[in-house]
Amino acid sequence: MVATLAEDAMRARSQEAQRRFRVEHAIVEAAQLLISSGKVDLHVVLGLLGEATGAETIYFTELESEASAVVWQRQGKPSSHWLRELEARLRQFFTRKTPARPFEEPWPLDEKLIVVPVLSAQGRLHGYLVLAFAETPPQHEEEMRLLRVLGGLLATYLDRQAAEAALRDSEERWRRLVEEHPEPIVLTVRGKIVYLNVAARRLLGLGEGEDISGRELLDFISADQYELLQRHLQQLESGTLRSPLECEIIRMDGEARLVELMGMPVPWAGQQAVQMILRDLTERRQAEERYRAFFSTITEGIWRIELRQPVAVTTLPELQLAHIYEQGYLAECNEVMARWLGAERPEALIGKPLKDLRNYFRPHYLRKFIQMQYRLHGEEYAVKGRQGKRYFVVNAVGTVVRDRLVRIWGSCVEVTEATTLERRMVQALEEQQQAIGRELHDGVGQLLTSVRMLSENLAQRLRTESHELAELASRVVHFAQEAAQDIRRIYRGLTPAQLYDEALTVALEELAYTTNTLGQIRCRFESDEAVHVSDPEIKLHLYRIAQEAVHNALKHSQASEIVISLRQWEDAIELCVSDNGCGITLERTRPDSLGMKTMYYRAHAIGGTLHVQSQPGQGTTICCRIPLDNPL
């Protein structure tokens, strides 16, 4: 009896050792398979588990995989009916990603089925194993340990497979993105080139199929920058540098290209690499140099005003004007503009607040710039400085970003010489008119006075003698008187002495009265009491413009009424002559006709602008506007 018990114990120990050996062998074999790189044949792994546990069938499926389940059968194949029944029973315990009843240990589905969850360390359910036995399996600790270990190994394998797939997908997306990226991109490992995209190959001048992998990036660098780039690459590899570096790349054909190199450390094929963008600056730098050369040699004054804080275009114009003065500063100007602004070099003006340059960038023109939707074209501009009065034609355009004005670009062309010639021409015309007036007054006027006096004496003697020619002599006296009056009227028009002795309003009122006395047309004068023009030159030219406009209306308009008005607005004085006549065509409003050209010259001579509004059948209005901040 004792011997039998000893034999049974020895047999049990032997069986236990065999089970342990099978389990350990299965674990080692499965671990070697599952931790190796590459794809694993899971059918082989399931076979190891089946041999170690004595299972007849082992079923494994992944919840997130579209592939069919893996089934190992000791002999033959399991019927499809058995598999459908098994899957139906398993659905009672599992949803697609989460078990219906939580467990981490192997679970007996019935007497002959054991379910093993394949759970990762983070609790992610990858799938499950089902072991089917021919008869009720003994619940040995070694088999249970094998099931637990194998479930963990499978989960680790699937985690690694998912990570590697995600990495491959990420690398593929990176490669597709980088390959067609417009910027040249280069990857180096320890200074050697391992990858170039299409743009980088184009930058380096590589031919079709030409491979430079393994060559050092330093081979393509100008010799005098070799050490600088070498230190830069070392700092990029260590991750201690983020600032870009400008250097010169030498292409395969020997052409030098200026690039801006920016990089960062990245993993590449299990190694530390540096990914660099080589932004080609050659064309941009050449364009900048051409611009600087143009900027420094052009005879025009070029300037740029930046706003520290942009201003919304919907803001009221006066508030915009105040904002531009408060937030604007001179960000750029060339030497020509600097000299016009009273400085020797542009550097003396760069950064200067716009409000400190108000004498040059005056409110009238900035206000008009805002009113014209941030554009000025061919605007005449006068500046009074240490060198006297100077005249410019200004063009300006604003940069609007998201409905906000951020900067103003402008250019100035000096037209002082041309304007001075115009002023001299107008002055010569005025002197000629006054000379004609004096000649008429002193010459023809005196002669007519003599004719009138002699005619009166002759008429008196003929009346005394009752001569038949007495009436004719009286008519000569009358005509001489009318001619003398016409001469005096012409003289007053050519030489308006009241302009120098009295206000402009008085001279314009007399012009309206004289026109009214002609009897052909009604003419009236309207004015604000606040209007005061003290400058003799401005008074004279405004009067001459009004004279010419009235003359044109009398000659061409077929009007029944002319209105002369003189108004003073907040920023300007405005003289207008309007009629209710037939209007004039566009050709007649052009400044190439003598009368219109004279009016334009006179307006420009006093720093003003002349505008003509007319449509056929709707009359004509001619306005001259003089800014109140005009240096004249």
Distance CA 357, CA 363 (A): 11
What would the CATH number be for the domain defined by 180-284? 3.30.450.20
Percent of the chain scored above 70 by pLDDT? Answer: 81
Q: Which CATH architecture has domain 16-164?
A: 2-Layer Sandwich (3.30)
Write the single-letter amino acid at 482. Answer: E
Residue 139: its pLDDT value, please?
Answer: 63
Q: What mean pLDDT do residues 592-600 have? A: 75
Distance CA 336, CA 461 (A): 80
Residue 528: its pLDDT value, please?
Answer: 79
Question: What are the pLDDT digits (tens) for 55-110?
Answer: 888 888 777 776 678 888 887 777 776 777 777 777 666 554 444 444 566 767 77
Q: State the virtual CA torsion across 219, 220, 221, 227 in degrees, nearest 10.
A: -20
Distance CA 539, CA 547 (A): 12
3 state DSSP class of 591: coil
Phi, psi (rounded to 5 degrees) for 506: -65, -45
pTM for the full predicted model: 0.50
3 state DSSP class of 125: strand
3 state DSSP class of 570: coil
Give the closest residue to 380 by CA, choosing from 358, 423, 355, 413: 413
Give the closest residue to 276 by CA, choosing from 290, 292, 259: 259
Residue 19: its pLDDT value, please?
Answer: 63
Q: How many CA atoms lie within 13 A of 365 on its CB side?
A: 26
pLDDT band at 544 (very low <50, low <70, confident <90, very high): confident
* 298-414 maps to CATH 3.30.450.20: yes
Distance CA 331, CA 339 (A): 16
Q: In what order do the strands lie in the sheet with 70-73?
A: 70-73, 57-62, 125-132, 113-119, 107-108
Alpha carbon 412 to chain centroid distance? Answer: 24
Residue 325: its pLDDT value, please?
Answer: 94
Q: Output b/e per residue, 341-371; b: 16+ Cβ within 10 A.
A: bebeebeebeeeebeebeebbbbbbbbbbbe
Write the single-letter amino acid at 583. Answer: G
Using DSSP bridges, classify how beta strands 572-579 and 522-527 pair: parallel, antiparallel or unpaired: unpaired
Q: What mean pLDDT do residues 420-435 have? A: 70
Element (H, E) at 554: none
Residue 87: its pLDDT value, please?
Answer: 72
Distance CA 46, CA 58 (A): 6
- Nearest 5°: the CA angle 353, 356, 362 is 105
Question: What are the pLDDT digits (tens) for 212-270?
Answer: 888 988 888 888 888 888 888 888 877 776 688 888 888 988 898 999 988 888 887 77
Please determine, for residue 523, whether its predicted confidence score (pLDDT) is greater than 80: yes
Please determine, for residue 120, whether its predicted confidence score (pLDDT) is greater than 90: no
pLDDT band at 374 (very low <50, low <70, confident <90, very high): very high
**Which one has a higher pLDDT value, 506 or 100?**
506
Residue 309: its pLDDT value, please?
Answer: 94
Please determine, for residue 573, whether its predicted confidence score (pLDDT) is greater than 60: yes
Which residues in the chain are classed under CATH 3.30.450.270?
16-164
**Which one has a higher pLDDT value, 524 or 17?**
524
Phi, psi (rounded to 5 degrees) for 357: -110, 25
Distance CA 215, CA 211 (A): 9
Distance CA 436, CA 430 (A): 10
Residue 97: its pLDDT value, please?
Answer: 45
Question: What are the pLDDT digits (tens) for 152-171?
Answer: 788 888 888 777 777 778 77
Distance CA 23, CA 144 (A): 10
E strands present in 529-608: 561-568, 572-579
| Lowest-confidence region among 16-25, 517-526, 605-614 | 16-25
Residue 95: its pLDDT value, please?
Answer: 53
- Nearest 5°: the CA angle 234, 240, 245 is 65
Write the single-letter amino acid at 23. Answer: V
Distance CA 610, CA 426 (A): 15
Average predicted confidence (pLDDT) for the chain = 79
Element (H, E) at 344: none
DSSP 8-state symbol, 355: G
Distance CA 304, CA 397 (A): 10
* Number of neighbouring beta carbons within 10 Å of residue 518: 10
Structure tokens at 113: 């089925």
**Which one has a higher pLDDT value, 295 or 367?**
367
Residue 39: its pLDDT value, please?
Answer: 80
Residue 143: its pLDDT value, please?
Answer: 67
| Lowest-confidence region among 123-132, 306-315, 473-482, 505-514 | 473-482
Which residues in the chain are classed under CATH 3.30.450.20?
180-284, 298-414
Structure tokens at 332: 């750029």
Using DSSP bridges, classify how beta strands 245-250 and 256-268 pair: parallel, antiparallel or unpaired: antiparallel
Q: How many CA atoms lie within 13 A of 148 on its CB side?
A: 10
Residue 149: its pLDDT value, please?
Answer: 79
Residue 586: its pLDDT value, please?
Answer: 53
DSSP 8-state symbol, 322: H
Q: How many Å is the Cα radius of gyration of the chain?
A: 51
Element (H, E) at 403: none
Please determine, for residue 588, whether its predicted confidence score (pLDDT) is greater than 70: no
- 237: which residues sit within 8 A by CB, 6+ positions away? 190, 265, 272, 274
What would the CATH number be for the domain defined by 501-632? 3.30.565.10
Residue 409: its pLDDT value, please?
Answer: 92
3 state DSSP class of 342: coil
Which residues in the chain are classed under CATH 3.30.565.10?
501-632
- 397: which residues sit within 8 A by CB, 6+ positions away? 374, 375, 376, 408, 409, 410
- 523: which residues sit within 8 A by CB, 6+ positions away? 512, 513, 515, 516, 550, 561, 562, 563, 564
Distance CA 538, CA 262 (A): 63
Phi, psi (rounded to 5 degrees) for 131: -105, 125
Structure tokens at 151: 């479930």
Say if CB 405 and CB 374 are below 8 A apart. yes
Please determine, for residue 29, whether its predicted confidence score (pLDDT) is greater than 70: yes
pLDDT band at 112 (very low <50, low <70, confident <90, very high): confident
Please determine, for residue 402, whether its predicted confidence score (pLDDT) is greater than 70: yes
Structure tokens at 13: 């120990």
3 state DSSP class of 577: strand
**Which one has a higher pLDDT value, 560 or 33?**
560
Furthest C-alpha separation in the chain: 200
Write the single-letter amino acid at 299. Answer: T
- Nearest 5°: the CA angle 452, 456, 462 is 140
Q: In what order do the strands lie in the sheet with 185-189?
A: 192-196, 185-189, 271-280, 256-268, 245-250
Residue 362: its pLDDT value, please?
Answer: 84
Residue 430: its pLDDT value, please?
Answer: 67
Structure tokens at 310: 């942009």
Please determine, for residue 30, whether its predicted confidence score (pLDDT) is greater than 90: no
Which neighbouring-strand residues pair with 221? 249
Alpha carbon 35 to chain centroid distance? Answer: 56
